[in-house]
Amino acid sequence: MKNIKNFSSFLGGVLTVLLVAGCLNTALAASGKVSYNFSNVALGGETKITAGQDITAANGQKVPGTILFTDAAGGKTNYLPIRAVSELLGVEIGYDSATKTVLLGKQPAAAGALSSYETELEGRLAEARKIAYQDLDSASEEMRAKILEARALIINNTAWVADGYTASQVDPDGNEVSLPHFSELFPGWDLPKA
């Protein structure tokens, strides 16, 4: 009787191992197989990504150049890093982390974003402000010319009205706002000559 008990325990163990192995084999077959750097990538007949070699990502990290997924039925699909493909094809690429979106191609400017001209003007105005408020009377002739040039840039890129007049403009919220007088914004400055 003892042998039958041992045999039934042994048989139960064997059946358990076979069942687990069968389930594991099925799970592995269903999940497929992944291979890295399996294939070459060519553009116009010229190899750009070589099988067996990693590529370097923008952050300097080595990543697989290609990924081959073989599904349970033996079907194969190649995956390529999107940045590598976009660079090969000369397409701009970006990533919007707020929306978790890969951006391909030239993107329209975001609302409220400055144009390149506006960005350049802001930089020039920042530099002009460093010079324009220096004392004009004690400056050398060369520096005096730079101060007057900086003041002209600031004056011509600021909304104001001549002293003794009134004017207003509508702000982005639709409110009418009175413009300041020239002397309020630029005390002691002279209007630049045209």
Q: 89, 110, 131 — which closes off a domain?
A: 110
pLDDT of residue 7 exceeding 50: no
36/85 same-domain check: yes
* DSSP percent split of the chain into helix, strand, coil, nearest 5: 40, 20, 40
- Asked whether residue 12 is domain-assigned, the answer is no
106/134 same-domain check: no
| Gap between the Cα atoms of 160 and 128, Å rounded | 18
Percent of the residues in the chain that have a pLDDT greater than 70, as a whole number: 80
Which pLDDT score, from 0 to 100, does residue 17 have?
46
133-159: per-residue pLDDT in tens?
899 899 999 999 999 999 999 999 888
Name the average pLDDT for the chain: 79
Mean pLDDT on 23-49: 75
Which pLDDT score, from 0 to 100, does residue 18 have?
45
Which pLDDT score, from 0 to 100, does residue 11 have?
41
64-108: per-residue pLDDT in tens?
888 888 888 888 888 888 877 877 788 888 777 778 888 888 777
Q: What is the domain range of residue 95?
A: 31-110
DSSP annotation of 91? -
Which pLDDT score, from 0 to 100, does residue 144 have?
93
Residue 172: pLDDT band with limits 50, 70, 90: confident
Sign, CA torsion 28/32/34/40: positive
> What are 79's two structure tokens?
């995956």
Which pLDDT score, from 0 to 100, does residue 176 have?
92
- Asked whether residue 161 is domain-assigned, the answer is yes
Q: Which of 108, 105, 64 is nearest to 84 (CA)?
A: 64
Q: How many helices (H) and strands (E) does the chain have?
A: 5, 11
93/129 same-domain check: no
Q: Report the interhelical angle of 141-156 vs 116-132 (nearest 10°).
A: 130
Which pLDDT score, from 0 to 100, does residue 191 have?
80
Phi and psi, residue 21, nearest 5°: -65, -40
DSSP annotation of 33? E
Which pLDDT score, from 0 to 100, does residue 65 have?
84
Q: How many separate domains does the chain show?
A: 2
91/161 same-domain check: no
46/106 same-domain check: yes
Q: Which of 151, 161, 158 is nearest to 188 (CA)?
A: 151
Which pLDDT score, from 0 to 100, does residue 150 have?
92
CA distances from 65 to 60, 103, 108 (A): 14, 20, 30
Q: 59, 83, 110 — which closes off a domain?
A: 110
Asked if 48 and 41 touch (Cβ cutoff 8 Å), the reply is yes
Residue 112: pLDDT band with limits 50, 70, 90: low
Which pLDDT score, from 0 to 100, does residue 148 have?
92
- Asked whether residue 21 is domain-assigned, the answer is no
The vertex-82 CA angle with 52 and 70, nearest 5°, equals 55
Which pLDDT score, from 0 to 100, does residue 4 have?
52
Q: What is the pTM of this model?
A: 0.41
47/102 same-domain check: yes
In sequence order, which residues have a C-beta less than 8 Å from that of residue 127 and are 6 or more positions away? 150
| Gap between the Cα atoms of 152 and 168, Å rounded | 22
Q: Rg of the chain over CA atoms, in angstroms?
A: 36
Q: 65, 89, 110 — which closes off a domain?
A: 110
Which pLDDT score, from 0 to 100, does residue 24 have?
44
